[in-house]
Structure 1
Amino acid sequence: MDWTCLLSPRRHPERENAPGDPRSEFLRDYDRIVFSTAFRRLGRKTQVHPLTINDHVHTRLTHSIETGSVGRSLGLHAFELLRDELPPHTPPAMLGEIVQAACLAHDIGNPPFGHAGEEAVRAFFAEAPDHLVENLSPAQRLDLATFEGNAQGFRIVTRLEMSLNAGGMRLTLPTLGALLKYPWTSEHPVARQKGKFSCYLSERATLDEIAQRLGLPPGTEGGFARHPLAFLVEAADDICYSILDLEDARELGLLSFAEIMAALGPLADSLGGPARDASLHQRRRLSYIRSQAIGRAVEDAARAFADHHRAILAGAFEKSLLDVCSEATRQGIAGAKELARGRIYTNTRKIELEIGSFSAIGGLLQVLCTAVWEKLARGRVSGRGQRLLRVLGEHAPPDDATLYEGYMRVLDYVSGMTDQYATLMAKQIGGLAENLSVR
């Protein structure tokens, strides 16, 4: 891969850049994402804890903003370490602006209720009645039964948001490349094994075009090699959620302050000073620890990126940057993740609400997909189905759509819902709501 091609500020689809705009093309990407309705809705989507009333706990929106901030720092550090390897006259802020924009959009396709929402969609299509899926190809069934927030996000930014079916947000190629954490479809071996992919069949031609224009080489098992900056986006996300999930857990009383101190100790240069000042509120003490831990992880991840950049450019690097950082950073991140798996993600209230999300999302998909099936497969729509198609609004499929396209439109509608809206819609459609309005 070649940095000149990888960083060229061309857009998808190809179009002339705006003359006289003092912003860089990548700052324009950032602004488009910030002002999108899909990004705005992240404010009421679960990061880890569904439907919490504690305003200090992260949502997908605050997580995305903070990940963007960390991503920008990673990009700035990477530039300083690699400036002699980059094209002449590369602006010092360029890498940071690209990574920040991609980080901002990295969760834009996540459904309501977090990862439980993804699992609920997958479960519905994996167990759907035969008549709903018998007209789908095996590849189309696989797409739906392995629903992925990353792939939905790619669909949003390249098709749905802003310029509908005409390039979406029309972001720059470098930002799109950095966003592609898994640049392959659901048929790729990694997708089959781990359910991880960044592109549905419906956007495969778009992926192929973007990869060709960026110069991303084909992968050994299909798909493409990652854009180098995608490694920085991944690192920013990992740093933020592994550290900040602990902070949220303390806010909710799931972890003690001492447990967090012990977990993040390897990442902090020093846990003296404000961290041990008992006269300070624990939020202030935690913010000091968090700042030190994130700063250390950012420096180490940027150094790892610089150390391995030749293998990354060759498409031969297949690890996470955090896996090749210093021992202290590896231990700190691993310890934080282990603590979260054992004490946070298994919390009873969280699990109870996630179980409820299966009913809410499954119920919505059942009635909406049935209405779409009646229109596109059976050719006769019931009275209830007609009403449900009107509920879909602009997401309702046209008469000439395929069944796969119809179901994708249902997923666009349901996955775009906030936690609260999905809960209310499920109640209303199920006849359980009392004097409530969804508007």
Structure 2
Amino acid sequence: MESADDFCYGILDLEDGLEMNILKWDDIFEILRPVLEINGSDISDVENELGKMNYGRKMPILRGKVIGAYVEAAADAFIKHENQYLNGDPTSLIDLCESDVKNSVYKAKEIAKDIIFNHPRKIELEIGSYNVISTLLNVMCEAALEWSKDSNKMSFRSQRVMDLIGRNTFHPRIGENSNELSKNYMVLLRVIDFVSGMTDNYATFLAKQFNGMGI
């Protein structure tokens, strides 16, 4: 799971950098090219295939090919070193993958850390995301706690928030005679689950709506 996380976010961070014009397509392709060659892909064929597409389609195609190669390399490395892991060896699975895979993952992480995360546009988005999450949690937690305490004394705004989340999506035990601390825990858990399941775009859209700045 830890390796899968590194594989996915290594690629997605590069994709973010491309979408925000922080990185160029040629720079990304150069990092990932060796991974494509592992499975015997004809790089000229891949380049011709991708060259006919716009950037919006290029990156998902490349992502699929590269992650597929990553998964195969990780599976091979795990099988070869299974006994090490069964004996408690803490070595990262990525370090045991063939060098082209290992180098591309670490290069992607290095670029993300040194270039993408420190770019002004990324920093601006990161700062803004704090306000988005705060807005969503403040509004929804307040409504959920009101509902948990006494559903008959909720403000109209909180009623509408609960309509949005869906009362029937909360744990059925909340309606039982459980203690207040337990009920609060369960309702807040559901709110966090609801927010964490949002896409970035939807969370931003919803925060704007809550602040009266939506369309």
TM-score by structure 1 length?
0.37
In the TM superposition, residue 404 of structure 1 has moved relative to its aligned partner by 0.7
Paired position in structure 1 for 2:17: 249
Residues in 1 aligned to 2:80 and 2:45: alpha-carbon distance in whole angstroms: 34
Q: Is the 8 A contact 1:263 1:339 kept in 2?
A: no
Paired position in structure 1 for 2:126: 354
Q: Is the 8 A contact 2:144 2:158 kept in 1?
A: no
Deviations 1:354-381 (A, max 9, x none): 3223222212211322233345468984
Paired position in structure 1 for 2:6: 238
Counterpart pick for 1:310 among 74, 83, 93: 83
Residues in 1 aligned to 2:93 and 2:62: alpha-carbon distance in whole angstroms: 22
Q: Is the 8 A contact 1:263 1:336 kept in 2?
A: yes
Check 1:381–1:356 CA distance in 2 against 1; reply closer, same or farther (3 A cut).
farther
Q: Does residue 139 of structure 2 align to residue 398 of structure 1?
A: no
Counterpart pick for 2:97 among 316, 325, 331: 325
Deviations 1:380-402 (A, max 9, x none): 84524652444432245536452
In the TM superposition, residue 407 of structure 1 has moved relative to its aligned partner by 0.8
The equivalences for 1:330-341 within 5 A come to 330-341=102-113
Q: How many residues matched?
A: 200
Check 1:399–1:313 CA distance in 2 against 1; reply closer, same or farther (3 A cut).
same
Gaps of 5+ in 2: none
Q: Does residue 198 of structure 2 align to residue 417 of structure 1?
A: yes
Residues in 2 aligned to 1:354 and 1:310: alpha-carbon distance in whole angstroms: 42
Structure 1 vs Structure 2: percent identity of aligned residues?
36
Paired position in structure 2 for 1:367: 139
Aligned-partner SS, 1:431: coil
In the TM superposition, residue 305 of structure 1 has moved relative to its aligned partner by 0.7
Check 1:414–1:267 CA distance in 2 against 1; reply closer, same or farther (3 A cut).
closer
RMSD of the alignment, in Å?
4.0
The equivalences for 1:152-163 within 5 A come to none
In the TM superposition, residue 273 of structure 1 has moved relative to its aligned partner by 3.4
Deviations 1:181-209 (A, max 9, x none): 4xxxxxxxxxxxxxxxxxxxxxxxxxxxx
Deviations 1:21-64 (A, max 9, x none): xxxxxxxxxxxxxxxxxxxxxxxxxxxxxxxxxxxxxxxxxxxx
In the TM superposition, residue 408 of structure 1 has moved relative to its aligned partner by 0.9
Amino acid at match of 1:371: A
Amino acid at match of 1:264: L
Gaps of 5+ in 1: 1-180, 182-233
Amino acid at match of 2:175: P
Segments ≥4 residues shifted beyond 4 Å: 274-277, 280-296, 375-380
* Higher-helix-fraction structure: 2
Check 1:349–1:383 CA distance in 2 against 1; reply closer, same or farther (3 A cut).
same
Amino acid at match of 2:213: L
Amino acid at match of 2:90: E
Q: Does residue 206 of structure 2 align to residue 428 of structure 1?
A: no
